Amino acid sequence: MKKRREMTPSLYQAVLRRRKRKSKAFLPVIVQFTGKTHKKSADQLQKKLGRKCRNKGRLKLIGGWAVRVSPASLQTICAHKRVTKVYLDRRNRTNLNVATPAVGAAEAQKSGATGKGVGIAILDTGVAPRADLTRPANRIAAFKDFINGRTKPYDDNGHGTHVAGDAAGNGFSSGGTYKGPAPEAKIIGVKVLDSEGSGYDSTIIRGIEWCVANRKRYGIRVLNLSLGKPALEPCANDPLCRAINAAVKAGIVVTVAAGNEGPGRETISSPGTSPDAITVGAVNDQGSVRQSDDRVAAYSSRGPAAGGLTKPDLLAPGSNIVSINVPGSVLDQTLPQNKVGANYIRMSGTSFAAPITAGTVAQMLQKRPGLTPSQVKQLLKRNAFSLKLPANTQGSGELNVRFLK
């Protein structure tokens, strides 16, 4: 195939597999253009390809175009003078009664650090209007659905609502027992994963793009991604990773789950491979507030990340985390043994360590609104509690925001 260099290795391998199976099924790809005329370039290609493509829309944040194409038409795309790279549009999946005090967030709350006024965007399976987020006042400031186009908040999987509670639940249904670090923060629910917890890179990029465009309207200062996929290539060849870097450049702190593929080396999930994101692994807090007895979770992914970057950046509690349950959701129906009373459910994974970090970031930004994403990351790493493990296991150590008190 001509101009093979325009295709990332993962896309090239996908094409070879299709050829071997003699499959004519369309491939989902993201086309990267050079310059500022990506709309014109996408229109030209769409017109040229005709029925050989299914347009999924432009990705303004990265100057790209999401489209489904026949494998044969990739040659035409790669021959276009404005095309610099063609990526496979890959699928991502979803990867606090003790957790909040353990990282010092409860102490910070006593000094008034509750995340008040700070918007946390949860890009996930949705956010359901449960009491811990809506009473005594509704803190779901906005909801955008990139899967089904619905306008009212909902969560058919349950994962996103658990994540929202990890970051900013106020414990209303538990008398304050299961409270996140930022119980007064605003939640912006962005549904980019379907009921099974799955979503394409391009859909998630659109969600990030929407957050960047609406960051001032809703006060979005933090964005959490508790999702991922195997990192087959470095960040430069990962469009979702590049979108995260663009969001950070726009002034949004991005927290990302490290992945649940540990304890082996080089298991950090994409987009946790982003150098600009705060990539969070998980510890088991042993059910105690003391950090000295915490242990890194066996499932927590280790670095180095694809491309050689040291990751994760931090660890946070991720094992046996109790947060909001959504009755009738996929998690509610498939994990009845994990329910804690009528309103909560217990889960484990780096998916839940990342939003606990996002909640503490909201606390920081309430107290020090002038902090940049880079400064937030530096402060968290500098004040982390070291478990005296290698950097590619613990990063700088476990999340510790006691310096805010």
Nearest alpha carbon to residue 259 among 202, 297, 203:
297
Q: What CA–CA distance (Å, rounded) separates 6 from 197?
A: 31
CB-based contacts of 175, cutoff 8 Å, min separation 6: none
Alpha helices in 105-192 (DSSP H): 105-110, 131-134, 159-168
How far apart are the C-alpha atoms of 344 and 324, rounded to whole Å? Answer: 5
Neighbours of 263 (CB within 10 A): 13
What amino acid is encoded at 187 in this protein? I
Q: Residue 176 — left, alpha, or beta (φ > 0 → left; ψ -120 to 50 → alpha)?
A: left
Which residues are registered as beta bridge partners of 231?
A: none
State the Cα–Cα distance between residues 351 and 246, nearest whole angstrom: 22
Active site positions, annotated: 124, 159, 351
The stretches of 311-349 forming alpha helices (DSSP H) are: 330-334
Contact call for residues 27 and 88 (beta carbons, < 8 A): yes
Residues sharing a CB contact under 8 Å with residue 243, sequence separation 6 or more, in sequence order: 59, 61, 62, 204, 205, 208, 209, 271
Specify the residue for token string 């102490």: 107
Paired residues of 397 in beta bridges: none
**R_g of the chain computed on alpha carbons:** 21
**Which amino acid type is present at position 405?**
K
- Name residue, tokens 């990139």: 146
